[in-house]
């Protein structure tokens, strides 16, 4: 187990810069997720840590040692690929034992370690089969067993769940997290799926267009987004242009045309001073109420339901307030408001965050 | 009704294509002194004469050695070229690829004369090595086509996984890449062997005096008389050039069935 450090990493492909000046500190034993849309540089970062790509500039350290010039097969990493990448001509047991061949593991110990790894991924009886005889989820478990049996310093997971179907994906998510905390290996996980990132990570690194936008715990990046991109990428947010009126007590007042002055908790409005500001209002925190409902302690404004996107347990409304359209995601109580209904849009100021305006 | 006609027509086409071959095989078992109908009895006489004919045995040995060496060299070069073209970024990869495939497209006579003239120009004499060189040139494209297609279907991440587990690039090649492309390598080698074994055009131009391969030997014998031995030789050739690829394909299928790719 080792920490991983990226120092001023730049990666260019020809004239295209895939990663700009990435700095990242991954403590020993942490589960860190690189999250972002495709093309944001998250996989490039992972492949540089793996040694599958060379950084153009900067330094990569594993366990405090510079590894830029150490080839992949000497880095002692476990990698799990999106498409499993099992060796089709070897049995499951041979697949799992593969990495042990290149380490000084006595022959007598190989079988027991392979079995222990198969037990850990809860597939103890498939050692004699060939990978093609297993389902996608099982193959991914074997790939995980193969990566951890060598006791890697760092476990790298490259979208390991995205080839699985939805139900299986959620099971595997829980499973993966269980195994990771059981063996306590430093883990770097790459995904474009925000719910995976939120559910599994100790820390999330949100990336966009080759830049690290924010590093923080799941709660931090969700509740206190550092940029408009982060606010939009993790869940749906309404971003309202406004003006910061300055600090009053423990709050920062942000004035928006739709809702008047909103007292945002200072902790969620860092770096904000008088001048242009943006109010971040999460769609899940914007509640629609029938006119006349009790709205004590809430900030309200009248609105009209424009579009109703029914999703079973929840409903996503697009509401119109003057010439602005906002999104609200609400749990359904009895039945959703039909289109055209006049409602009250309400939220609590402490659920908002604020960003410096453009 | 229409289908009956098409079926009948198809059968006629097959007869037209395969009857001569069948006749050769049939006549090779003819007891008669002359290689033609009517057959006077069933006999292995011509095969025995064949086995006692020094010139033919020599030609056979030459052909087999030539074929095996061609297969070995072509396969090795073909695998290396495919690896370079598919796995590494080579400047001008497309041009190189076309150039390597080109010998298939150029008429063999042209290729044969060109190589001969070129070596004349360099002042190099005809030799067995030159003959081998020629055979490698026009069997190489077949190997490359087959191996390249296979290599493209082998995902890079399987090799990356092997390296991440501690295998060096060389170990990865021998442990992962080569076994996975083995069916194609065997098929390519077999192609190279049969093409080399069959070839007459290029061989006539390139062979040094006194060296005969089976096809050129048959050609030489035909100039004197149509001996029934030729029928027997033809039968042996058919068995080798048809039987070997079928056998090879069966083996390749077996291998890939086991590995499930």
At B34 the pLDDT is 67
By C-alpha distance, the chain A residue nearest B159 is A85
Is A184 within 8 Å of A177 (Cβ atoms)?
Answer: no
By C-alpha distance, the chain A residue nearest B163 is A73
At A168 the pLDDT is 82
Name the H helices within B107-240.
Answer: 108-122, 128-153, 156-164, 169-172, 178-198, 201-206, 214-224, 228-238
Q: Where are the domains of chain B?
A: 1-43, 54-259
Chain B residues whose C-beta is within 8 A of a chain A C-beta are 155, 157-158, 160-169, 171-172, 175-176, 179-180, 258-261
Name the token pair of B217.
């030997």
Task: Give me the sign of the Cα torsion angle B62, B66, B67, B68.
Answer: positive
At B50 the pLDDT is 80
**Burial degree of B96 (CB within 10 A; 0-12, 13-18, 19+):** middle
Shortest distance, CA A136 to any CA of chain B (angstroms): 15
Helix, coil or strand: residue A43? helix
Q: Is A50 on the interface with B (CB under 8 A)?
A: yes
pLDDT tens string B234-244: 888 888 778 87
- Regions of chain A with pLDDT less than 50: none
Round to whole Å and give the CA distance between A81 and B163.
13
DSSP A351: G
Round to whole Å and give the CA distance between A329 and A344.
14
More confident residue, A203 or B227: A203
Contact check, Cβ <8 Å, A88/B260: yes
Half-sphere exposure of A165 (CA within 13 A, CB side): 3
pLDDT tens string A19-39: 888 899 999 989 999 999 988
Q: Helix B108-122 to helix B128-153 angle, to the nearest 10 degrees?
A: 130
At A357 the pLDDT is 77
Q: Would the pLDDT of B187 be above 60? A: yes
Mean pLDDT of B199-228: 83
Respond yes or no on whether the N-terminal peptide bond of residue B38 is cis (omega within 30° of 0): yes
Percentage of chain B beyond pLDDT 70 is: 95
At A313 the pLDDT is 86
The pLDDT confidence band at residue B6, using thresholds 50, 70 and 90, is: very high
Among B89, B155, B165, pick the best mutation site for testing chain A contact (most A Cβ within 10 A).
B165
- Determine the topology of domain B54-259 in CATH: MetI-like fold (1.10.3720)
Task: Write the CA distances from A234 to A223, A226, B186, integer angstroms.
Answer: 10, 11, 52
Any idea what the Cα angle at residue B28 is, between residues B24 and B33, rounded to 5°?
A: 115
Round to whole Å and give the CA distance between B195 and B203.
11
Shortest distance, CA B2 to any CA of chain A (angstroms): 45
Averaged pLDDT of chain A:
88
Shortest distance, CA A52 to any CA of chain B (angstroms): 8
Task: Give me the sign of the Cα torsion angle A212, A216, A217, A220.
Answer: negative
User: B3-29: b or e for each residue (b if 16 or more CB lie within 10 Å)?
Assistant: eeeeeeeeeeeeeeeeeeeeebeebbb
At B35 the pLDDT is 59
Residues facing A62 on adjacent strands? A4, A65
By C-alpha distance, the chain B residue nearest A88 is B259
Q: Helix B54-87 to helix B93-105 angle, to the nearest 10 degrees?
A: 160
Q: Which domains are present in chain A?
A: 4-223 (3.40.50.300), 236-356 (2.40.50.140)
Round to whole Å and give the CA distance between A285 and A222.
12
Range with lowest mean pLDDT among B52-56, B70-74, B139-143, B200-204: B52-56
Q: Which of A134-138, B78-82, B114-118 has the highest mean predicted lDDT (pLDDT)?
A: B78-82
The pLDDT confidence band at residue B36, using thresholds 50, 70 and 90, is: low
At B256 the pLDDT is 66
At B236 the pLDDT is 84
At B241 the pLDDT is 78
Contacts of A112 (CB under 8 A, 6+ apart): none
Percentage of chain B beyond pLDDT 90 is: 25
Q: How many CB pairs under 8 A join A and B?
A: 80
At B259 the pLDDT is 56
């Amino acid at each position: 187990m080792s920490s991983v450090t990226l120092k001023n990493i730049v990666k260019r492909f020809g004239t295209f810069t895939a990663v700009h000046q990435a700095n990242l500190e991954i403590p020993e034993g942490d589960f860190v997720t690189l999250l972002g849309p495709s093309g944001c540089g998250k996989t490039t970062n992972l492949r540089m840590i793996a040694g599958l790509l060379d950084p153009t500039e900067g330094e990569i350290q594993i366990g405090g040692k510079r590894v830029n010039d150490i080839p992949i097969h000497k880095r002692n990493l476990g990698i799990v690929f999106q498409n499993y990448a099992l060796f089709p001509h070897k049995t499951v047991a041979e697949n799992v034992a593969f990495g042990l061949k290149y380490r000084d593991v006595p022959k007598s110990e190989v079988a027991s370690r392979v079995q222990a790894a198969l037990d850990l991924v809860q597939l103890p009886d498939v050692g004699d089969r060939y990978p093609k005889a297993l389902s996608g989820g099982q193959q991914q478990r074997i790939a995980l067993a193969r990566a951890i049996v060598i006791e890697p310093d760092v476990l790298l997971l490259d979208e390991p769940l995205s080839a699985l179907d939805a139900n299986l994906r959620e099971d595997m998510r829980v499973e993966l997290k269980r195994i990771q905390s059981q063996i306590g290996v430093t883990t770097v996980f790459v995904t474009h799926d925000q719910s995976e990132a939120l559910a599994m990570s100790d820390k999330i690194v949100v990336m966009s267009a080759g830049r690290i936008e924010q590093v923080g715990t799941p709660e931090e990046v969700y509740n206190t987004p550092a940029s408009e991109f982060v606010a939009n990428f993790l869940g749906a947010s309404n971003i309202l242009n406004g003006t910061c009126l300055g600090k009053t007590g423990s709050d920062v007042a942000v004035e928006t045309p739709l809702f008047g002055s909103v007292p945002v908790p200072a902790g969620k409005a860092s770096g904000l001073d008088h001048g242009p500001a943006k109010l971040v209002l999460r769609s899940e925190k914007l509640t629609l109420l029938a006119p006349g409902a009790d709205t004590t302690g809430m900030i309200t404004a009248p609105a009209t339901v424009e579009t109703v996107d029914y999703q079973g347990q929840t409903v996503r409304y697009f509401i119109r307030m003057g010439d602005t359209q906002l999104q609200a995601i609400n749990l359904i109580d009895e039945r959703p408001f039909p289109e055209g209904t006049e409602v009250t849009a309400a939220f609590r100021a402490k659920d908002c965050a604020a960003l410096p305006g453009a | 009704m229409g289908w009956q006609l098409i079926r009948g027509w198809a059968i006629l086409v097959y007869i037209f294509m395969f009857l001569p071959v069948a006749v050769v095989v049939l006549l090779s078992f003819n007891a008669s002194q002359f290689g033609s109908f009517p057959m006077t009895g069933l006999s292995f006489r011509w095969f025995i004469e064949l086995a006692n004919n020094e010139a033919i045995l020599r030609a056979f040995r030459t052909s087999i050695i030539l074929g095996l060496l061609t297969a070995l060299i072509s396969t090795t070069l073909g695998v290396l070229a495919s690896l370079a073209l598919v796995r590494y970024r080579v400047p001008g990869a497309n041009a190189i690829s076309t150039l390597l495939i080109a010998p298939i497209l150029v008429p063999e006579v042209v290729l044969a004369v060109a190589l001969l003239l070129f070596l004349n120009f360099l002042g190099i004499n005809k030799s067995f090595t030159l003959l081998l060189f020629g055979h490698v040139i026009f069997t190489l494209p077949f190997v490359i086509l087959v191996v390249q297609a296979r290599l493209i279907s082998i995902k890079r991440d399987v090799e990356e996984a092997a390296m991440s587990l501690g295998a060096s690039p060389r170990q990865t090649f021998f442990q992962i890449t080569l076994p996975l492309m083995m069916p194609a390598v065997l098929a390519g080698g077999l192609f190279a062997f049969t093409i080399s074994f069959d070839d007459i055009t290029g061989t006539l131009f390139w062979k040094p005096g006194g060296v005969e391969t089976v096809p050129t030997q048959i050609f030489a014998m035909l100039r004197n008389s149509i001996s029934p031995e030729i029928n027997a030789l033809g039968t042996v050739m058919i068995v080798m050039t048809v039987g070997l690829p079928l056998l090879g394909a069966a083996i390749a299928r077996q291998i890939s069935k086991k590995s499930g790719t």
